[in-house]
Amino acid sequence: MTSLSPSTIMVLVFVPLIIWRVYSRIRRMVGRQRLSKIRPWITLTVFPLIVAMLALAGLRHPERLTLLAGGLAVGMLLAVYGLRRTKFEVTPQGYYYTPNAHLGIALSLLFIARIAWRFVEIYLLNPAVPRDMQEFGASPLTLGVFGLLAGYYIGYAIGLVRWRYGRAQNATPSSDQP
């Protein structure tokens, strides 16, 4: 019996975690959601940190940074579009919003497809070549797609925070009628 390499073990551990997170993210995009006070701030903390780490790792390859930055810019524009199509509600129970499901799901599926193709490229097309997890994110196209998704989530979270605090200055959920 052959032993598993550390990179294979990492893939076996992280793939189910990634699938679960993507599934939960897509499931949340298809219906009305309560606007959390904390969730947008987590997005505004985590995604920029990941983008910064990817940017630092790609400093020696400016073409990768170009695609990452381009993806971020396009993602921000898509977030503005998505926010314009989001239905916001103030009820006695709290603040709610219903995101544009088509846009969020399309971006998530694009990212899933890119990750799946990278796995095929790295682990199935030429498995004899030694690989590590660092190579997984080295693709400029993967960085561009991640930038697109990150830009969308960052821009959307900014929009949610702006709406919440702009709305909170005008009325509180308990004083508004549904």
* C-alpha dihedral (116, 141, 44, 34), degrees to nearest 10: -40
**Please, which residues have CB within 8 angstroms of residue 52's CB and are 6 or more apart in sequence?**
none
- Does some domain include residue 94? yes
pLDDT digits (tens, 9 = 90+) for 58-93: 788 788 889 999 999 999 999 999 999 999 999 899
- Does some domain include residue 1? no
pLDDT digits (tens, 9 = 90+) for 91-126: 899 899 998 888 878 887 887 888 788 777 766 776
Scan for tokens 């990941």, then name that residue: 50
State the DSSP H helix or E strand holding residue 91, giving kind and residue range, or none if neither: strand 87-91
Q: How many domains are contained in the chain?
A: 1
**Please, which residues have CB within 8 angstroms of residue 40's CB and are 6 or more apart in sequence?**
157, 158, 160, 161, 164
Which residues span the domain enclosing 99? 6-170
